Structure 1
């Protein structure tokens, strides 16, 4: 199983530029993401066939 918290931490620190989540992994990923205190800093951009690419932003979304 993928350690999404570790990947999100690496994204936050800049070790990763972006994180790609495929459609079949989205629900597992999302449950980890929304459990984080800093979840509003992660911005996802959805593409065809259910692929979403997440990036970390300094300003939280509203």
Structure 2
């Protein structure tokens, strides 16, 4: 059984939940990182979504209101 990757729609839904405060943070694995980033960099408010690298290659994303 392989790793189930997030699709573009799921990633956009996660970003929207970060944006509206429905979730405080979301952690992606190193395997999901490139796909998540590809969707994230196309967002109008991408500067407000911050990623913090974790040991092992994962990244925790949070939304910052500035």
TM-score by length of 2: 0.85
TM-score by length of 1: 0.90
Counterparts of residues 10-25 of structure 1 (less than 5 Å): 10-25=17-32
Where structure 1 has 5 or more consecutive residues not aligned to the other structure, the ranges are none
Shift of 1:19: 0.7
Which has a greater percent of helix?
A: 1
Where structure 2 has 5 or more consecutive residues not aligned to the other structure, the ranges are none
Task: Say how many residue pairs are matched.
Answer: 59
Aligned-residue CA RMSD (Å) = 0.9
User: After TM superposition, where is structure 1 displaced by more than 4 Å over at least 4 residues in a row?
Assistant: none
When Rg is computed on C-alpha atoms for both structures, the one with the higher figure is 2
